Amino acid sequence: MSFSIVEAPTRSAGVLDILGPKWRSFRARLRRERSGAGARTILLILLGAGFWTAVFGVSYRVLKYFKGVEEIGPLLAGKLLAVGLLSFVAILLLSNLVTALSTFFLAKDLDMLVAAPVDWIWFYLAKLAETLAHSSWMVVLMVVPILTAYGVVFGGGPLFPLVALATLLPFFLLPTVIGSVITLVLVNVFPARRARDLLSLVALSVMAGLVLFLRLAQPEQLARPEGYRNLLEFIASLRAPSHPLLPSEWAASALMNWLLRVRDPLPLLLLWSTAAAFIVVGASLHRRLYMPGFTKSQEGANTAAGRAAWHRAVRLLLGWLPVTRREFVLKDLKVFFRDATQWSQLILLAVLLIVYVFNIKALPLYTGERVPYVLVTLVVFLNQGLGGFVLSAIAARFIFPSVSLEGRQLWLLRSSPLDLRAMLWSKYWVGTLPLLALALGIGVITNRMLHAPPFMMLLSTITTVCYTLAVGALALGLGVLFPQFETENAAQIPTSFGGLVFMMAAVSLLTLIIVIEAVPIAEQLRIWQAGGQPGSSPSLLLAMGAVFLVCALATVLPLRSGLRRLAALEA
């Protein structure tokens, strides 16, 4: 080891030197996870294999069907690929916007890298590569089974993976460069913290708009070609989102050219030359704007928070609570509504609900003919399951992360005389009460839309109350058992391993409830078919008792384990 002050560095650090620590950290994390939790790894492998098989299976069947359609089969396959890649471009662009802000302006290694004698171009390329990897891995996981299906169905041969790689690399690079340039400009205009809020909001709003647009466009009509006047109109409707200047179109053409043995290198040339040009433009902008932007990102936003009227109103409303619980609830509400990464998820929630209600409304049930009682009862029963799944997804977004978000402040909670039950109580009711109101609201609205019979309405309402109370407890309990204290973004917590375990537990509970209730409902339907009047019966009351018991256990047990784990947690 030498500390000589006269020795000068022989070369500037390159891309690999800058990315080396990240790569080694990633490998170390993988090794730790592999050695630490065998069951977790097996579960993840099984889930991953199941997901890939499902995506491959669906893609294979669709493409096989398309291939069999004379004349327009390959056209349909090509268009499907272009539409798929276009939606990936939208996702990649949004993901890159948010990721670039972290990698270029908020990452912990930036102070060290900016202070080090690193050439700006290597710094830019390294950070671009990091942004590319972080923002694109999920899309890559999705693309692999789809393109495998294309390769298998259209006989892509052993070189097809190389062609796919050569096509997808510039395809993924383009949104990364565009995303980082937009972020660079935004950070030069707003302080980084405000820019992060803005980007989260923009990203979520666009995502929500996209989901809403796709749903309200009623894609199910494509499955009913009889609704179109002629074949040309059908093909025209398929062509709608594509454009010859879109990179997704080039990528789809490059891949389809290989699969259909068409010798046309133009799409690939367009992709590579555009990506190279964008990198050059991105690099020159980075050279001019990065340092002013980085300096600005150190500044805080204007963060004055006045004593708003709603704070006083809520404080008055909670006046009956003991002071510790009241202050905890108030703190949770303030933190939620001031953190854009948290409250902006309400936009997604609103879209999810609109799509859900729209789906129920779009069911071809009441189209003039008399609908059989059996069908209505079955649809209402299935609606209960679907509603339960929506509630689980909402609980995963809002209740599951609540304890993880205390992460860095755990020292305060643990060193104070706070009764941990008060903390769990606050988290449980702050999350579960709005969920219950929402569950009852959508339950009643959708059941009315479905003209549910009275006994189904009652059964559905009671089940919804029991299930919501249980799913809130499950989310909170598993959130304590699988905490994510280090994360800075609340939106990432539900997608963690613990979030996955919660969703599986919630769906299992829902399935159990449906199985328990299916028996008396089938009995009621038999009574109706025999000419009797459906109503209360011993088996129905027994089933309700069983559902109540299961939900009570699913409420109490996770909260108890959560409390025990919370008491043992070390900050």
Partner 1 sequence: MIELNNLTKRYGRFTAVDGINLTIPAGELYGMLGPNGAGKTTTMRMIAGILQPTAGSIRIAGIDLRTDPIGAKSRLGFIPDRPFVYDKLTGAEFLRFVAGLYGQGGVVIDRRIDELLELFELLPWRDELTESYSHGMRQKLIISSALLHRPEVIVVDEPMIGLDPKSARLLKDLLRQFVNRGGTVLMSTHTLEIAEAMCDRIAIVQGGKIVAAGTMDELRVQTSTGDASLEELFLKLTGGLSEWELSELFDR
DSSP 8-state assignment for residue 409:
G
| Pairwise CA distance, residues 377 & 81, whole Å | 40
Among 8, 223, 245, 304, binds partner 1 (CB under 8 A): 304
| Pairwise CA distance, residues 379 & 384, whole Å | 9
Residue closer to partner 1, measured from CB, 244 or 306? 306
Residue closer to partner 1, measured from CB, 61 or 331? 331
Residue closer to partner 1, measured from CB, 161 or 407? 407
Among 68, 306, 368, 538, binds partner 1 (CB under 8 A): 306
Residue closer to partner 1, measured from CB, 221 or 409? 409
Residue 481, interface with partner 1 (CB under 8 A)? no
Q: Candidates 280-288, 301-309, 437-445, 544-552 — which segment interacts with partner 1 by CB under 8 A?
A: 301-309
Shortest approach of partner 1 to residue 487 CB, angstroms? 14
Residue partners of 510: CB distance under 8 A and separation at least 6: 385, 388, 389, 392, 467
Among 411, 530, 533, 538, binds partner 1 (CB under 8 A): 411
The one-letter amino acid at 90: A
Residue closer to partner 1, measured from CB, 218 or 409? 409
Residue closer to partner 1, measured from CB, 6 or 530? 6
DSSP 8-state assignment for residue 191:
-
Contact 561, 477 (CB under 8 A): yes
Q: What DSSP string describes 131-162?
A: HHHHHHHHHHHHHHHHHHHHHHHTT--TTHHH
| Pairwise CA distance, residues 128 & 178, whole Å | 11
Residue 35, interface with partner 1 (CB under 8 A)? no
* Relative orientation angle of helices 266-297 and 160-189, to the nearest 10 degrees: 30
Residue 46, interface with partner 1 (CB under 8 A)? no
| Pairwise CA distance, residues 187 & 99, whole Å | 13
Q: Candidates 114-122, 253-261, 276-284, 416-424 — which segment interacts with partner 1 by CB under 8 A?
A: 416-424
Residue 298, interface with partner 1 (CB under 8 A)? no
Residue 157, interface with partner 1 (CB under 8 A)? no
DSSP 8-state assignment for residue 103:
I
Residue 419, interface with partner 1 (CB under 8 A)? yes
Closest CA to 476 of 391, 571, 553, 403: 403
Residue 322, interface with partner 1 (CB under 8 A)? yes
Residue 412, interface with partner 1 (CB under 8 A)? yes
Residue closer to partner 1, measured from CB, 68 or 300? 300
Closest CA to 400 of 502, 505, 325, 504: 502
Residue closer to partner 1, measured from CB, 387 or 431? 431
Query: Where does residue 429 rank: exposed (0-12), middle (13-18), buried (19+ CB within 10 A)?
Result: middle
Residue 418, interface with partner 1 (CB under 8 A)? yes
Among 68, 117, 155, 300, binds partner 1 (CB under 8 A): 300
Residue 193, interface with partner 1 (CB under 8 A)? yes
| Pairwise CA distance, residues 430 & 334, whole Å | 12
Shortest approach of partner 1 to residue 42 CB, angstroms? 25
Q: Candidates 74-82, 322-330, 492-500, 548-556 — which segment interacts with partner 1 by CB under 8 A?
A: 322-330
Q: Candidates 207-215, 346-354, 371-379, 417-425 — which segment interacts with partner 1 by CB under 8 A?
A: 417-425
Residue closer to partner 1, measured from CB, 296 or 414? 414
| Pairwise CA distance, residues 124 & 503, whole Å | 39
Among 36, 38, 68, 417, binds partner 1 (CB under 8 A): 417
Query: Where does residue 191 rank: exposed (0-12), middle (13-18), buried (19+ CB within 10 A)?
Result: middle
The one-letter amino acid at 489: N
CB atoms inside a 10 Å sphere around CB 216:
12
DSSP 8-state assignment for residue 102:
I
Contact 379, 450 (CB under 8 A): yes
* Binding residue count for partner 1, defined by CB under 8 A: 40
Q: What DSSP string describes 230-296?
A: SHHHHHHHHHTT--TT-HHHHHHHHHHHHHTT----HHHHHHHHHHHHHHHHHHHHHHHHHHHHHHH
Chain-centroid distance of CA 565 in Å reads: 27
Residue 532, interface with partner 1 (CB under 8 A)? no
Shortest approach of partner 1 to residue 2 CB, angstroms? 6
Q: Rg (Cα) of the chain, in Å, rounded?
A: 27
Closest CA to 504 of 392, 427, 352: 392
Q: Candidates 214-222, 233-241, 326-334, 494-502 — which segment interacts with partner 1 by CB under 8 A?
A: 326-334
Residue 413, interface with partner 1 (CB under 8 A)? yes
Q: Candidates 100-108, 153-161, 271-279, 415-423 — which segment interacts with partner 1 by CB under 8 A?
A: 415-423
| Pairwise CA distance, residues 497 & 406, whole Å | 19
| Region 3-22 residues binding partner 1, contact defined as CB under 8 A | 3-5
Which 3-state string (H, E, C) describes 170-189? Answer: HHHHHHHHHHHHHHHHHHHH
Residue 331, interface with partner 1 (CB under 8 A)? yes
Among 10, 230, 367, 416, binds partner 1 (CB under 8 A): 416
Residue 545, interface with partner 1 (CB under 8 A)? no
For the chain, the distance separating the N- and C-terminal CA atoms, rounded to the nearest angstrom, is: 36
Shortest approach of partner 1 to residue 424 CB, angstroms? 14
| Region 389-408 residues binding partner 1, contact defined as CB under 8 A | 408
Among 22, 334, 421, 564, binds partner 1 (CB under 8 A): 334
Among 108, 263, 307, 370, binds partner 1 (CB under 8 A): 307
Residue 414, interface with partner 1 (CB under 8 A)? yes
Q: Candidates 150-158, 196-204, 299-307, 521-529 — which segment interacts with partner 1 by CB under 8 A?
A: 299-307
Residue closer to partner 1, measured from CB, 126 or 424? 424
Q: Candidates 69-77, 136-144, 317-325, 361-369 — which segment interacts with partner 1 by CB under 8 A?
A: 317-325
DSSP 8-state assignment for residue 70:
T
- Which residues contact partner 1 by CB under 8 A? 1-5, 193, 300-301, 303-307, 322-324, 326-328, 330-331, 334-335, 338-339, 408-419, 568, 570-571
